[in-house]
């Protein structure tokens, strides 16, 4: 006879415990899900993927889950209490992952062993006996809905509510347009642009044809836009804040002489691996934008600045909880300083392309307006804003802002 498992180690509990840790570290510690998943007890790859999936599905619909939980408790549970966290995870599994009721209960209760077990059991029971909402949309955090309604209107928020509960498609950028055409035909992909193909089903990236040969790399359609603003005649291009290198690869594939700068060694290691895999080349500089001075100016500088990343909420729903007004303001201030530095590296007549994967005007339109007001030697040549709703019927796009400024003086 097998020895009984110690209490709290029932099958399926470990990934839920890991999901609880991820949820706590993202919501209370402000971490990304990826970094929150590091450093915990070792799980097998399947359990690790399950933990991330449960935490992700929970974060996609947190306000909805909280409304349900509050409807079943006499006193609202504290926002960061373990009971609320465990209830959120359990409900998300039921609504988004169709986990059977008995499995939900059996894997939730060990997480509150020695604590509010009866309360959690009672609330789950009440909610499972009622009618739970379907999974086709969920409200965003109230502060985000307010900001985005003011900035982009109610329809964009309605689209974002639908987008947040769906896994976004996988977009690939190709070195060669002919390869994109052939791949789209054989893999039932959607040709988004000359060199961009979208796959709507979830397939392992490294198993797709052409990965080993480096014919393509993963890159959301939105993030391909800034490199497209770099004029074809620009010979030397600085890609500032380059890692992991999607835009560096695009620029190199388009024939520019690229210098790729980033301050993160570990992220640059991924950029190097991407260059190696695709056979493309760029000069790599490990530097802080704020401390860098090039020997000679460039024909074009692309500044893909660090930002709140709220435009990536479909892939990283946790960004919506990190991006407080304070974080956005700090981010905008840093972007302003980076723009001032980058401007000095552009040749007269050259271009400065600015980009952020943010849906916050303070990091996009307002940043560029402030820069232009303080820098009369630059003029706006073109700008592009992507808000929820664009190409929705084809699977949507990440929120994004990019602008090209020309140095006229």
Q: Smallest gap, in angstroms, from Cβ of residue 261 to ligand SAM? A: 6
Taking the C-alpha atoms of residue 343 and residue 365, their distance in angstroms, rounded to an integer, is 17
Instruction: Give 189-198's long-range contacts (Cβ < 8 A, gap of 24+).
Output: 190/394, 190/395, 192/221, 192/391, 192/394, 193/221, 193/224, 195/224, 195/253, 196/171, 196/172, 196/221, 196/224, 197/171, 197/172, 198/169, 198/170, 198/171, 198/172, 198/394, 198/395
**Stretch near ligand SAM under the rule CB under 6 A, chosen from 37-45, 96-104, 137-145, 235-243:** 235-243
Q: Does 246 bind ligand SAM (CB under 6 A)?
A: yes
**Stretch near ligand SAM under the rule CB under 6 A, chosen from 144-152, 168-176, 288-296, 386-394:** 288-296
Q: Does 262 bind ligand SAM (CB under 6 A)?
A: yes
Q: Does 277 bind ligand SAM (CB under 6 A)?
A: no
Catalytic residue among 65, 91, 280, 357: 357
Q: Does 228 bind ligand SAM (CB under 6 A)?
A: no
| Cβ atoms 397, 390 nearer than 8 A | yes
Between 230 and 243, CB nearer to ligand SAM? 243
Give the chain's radius of gyration (CA, Å).
23
Burial class (CB in 10 A: 0-12, 13-18, 19+), 388: buried
Active site (annotated) includes residue 307 = no
Of 239, 193, 243, nearest to 220 (Cα)?
193
Taking the C-alpha atoms of residue 73 and residue 71, their distance in angstroms, rounded to an integer, is 6
Q: Does 360 bind ligand SAM (CB under 6 A)?
A: no
Binding characters for ligand SAM, 73-102, by CB under 6 A (x = yes) = ------------------------------
Q: Smallest gap, in angstroms, from Cβ of residue 240 to ligand SAM? A: 7
Q: Does 319 bind ligand SAM (CB under 6 A)?
A: no
Q: Does 241 bind ligand SAM (CB under 6 A)?
A: yes
156 known member of a binding site: no
Measure CA 223 to chain center: 11
The catalytic site residues sit at: 357
* Binding residues for ligand SAM (CB under 6 A): 223, 241-247, 262-264, 267, 288-290, 304, 306
Binding residues for S-adenosyl-L-methionine: 241-247, 262, 288, 304
């Amino acid at each position: 006879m097998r020895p009984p498992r110690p209490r709290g180690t029932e099958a399926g509990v470990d990934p839920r415990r890991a999901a609880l840790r991820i949820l706590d570290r993202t919501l209370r510690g402000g971490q990304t899900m990826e970094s929150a998943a590091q450093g915990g007890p070792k799980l097998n790859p399947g359990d690790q993927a399950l933990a991330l999936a449960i935490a992700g599905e929970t974060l996609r619909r947190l306000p909805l889950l909280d409304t349900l939980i509050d409807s079943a408790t006499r006193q609202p549970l504290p926002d960061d209490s373990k009971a609320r966290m465990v209830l959120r995870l359990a409900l998300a599994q039921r609504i988004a992952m169709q986990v059977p009721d008995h499995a939900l209960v059996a894997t939730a209760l060990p997480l509150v062993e020695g604590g509010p077990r009866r309360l959690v059991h009672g609330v789950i029971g009440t909610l499972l006996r009622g009618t739970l909402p379907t999974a086709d949309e969920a409200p965003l955090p109230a502060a985000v809905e307010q900001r985005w309604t003011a900035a982009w209107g109610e329809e964009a928020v309605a689209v974002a509510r639908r987008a947040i509960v769906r896994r976004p498609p996988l977009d690939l950028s190709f070195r060669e347009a002919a390869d994109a055409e052939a791949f789209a035909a054989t893999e039932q992909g959607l040709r988004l642009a000359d060199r961009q193909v979208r796959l709507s089903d979830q397939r392992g990236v490294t198993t797709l044809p052409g990965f080993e040969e480096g014919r393509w790399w993963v890159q959301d359609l939105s993030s391909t836009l800034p490199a497209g603003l770099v004029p074809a005649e620009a010979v030397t291009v600085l890609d500032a804040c380059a890692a992991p290198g999607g835009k560096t690869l695009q620029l190199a594939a388009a024939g520019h002489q690229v210098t790729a700068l980033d301050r993160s060694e570990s992220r640059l290691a991924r950029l190097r691996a991407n260059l190696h895999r695709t056979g493309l080349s760029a000069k790599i500089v490990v530097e802080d934008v704020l401390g860098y001075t090039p020997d000679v100016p460039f024909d074009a500088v692309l500044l893909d600045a660090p930002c709140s990343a709220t435009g990536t909420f479909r892939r990283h729903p946790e960004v919506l909880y990190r991006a407080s007004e304070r974080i956005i303001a700090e981010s905008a201030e840093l972007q302003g300083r980076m723009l001032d530095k980058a401007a000095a590296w552009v040749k007269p007549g050259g271009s400065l392309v600015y980009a952020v994967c943010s849906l916050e005007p303070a990091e996009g339109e307002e940043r560029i307006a402030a820069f232009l007001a303080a820098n009369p030697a630059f003029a706006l040549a073109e700008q592009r804003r992507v808000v929820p709703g664009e190409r929705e019927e084809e699977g949507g796009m990440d929120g994004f802002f990019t602008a090209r400024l020309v140095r006229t003086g």
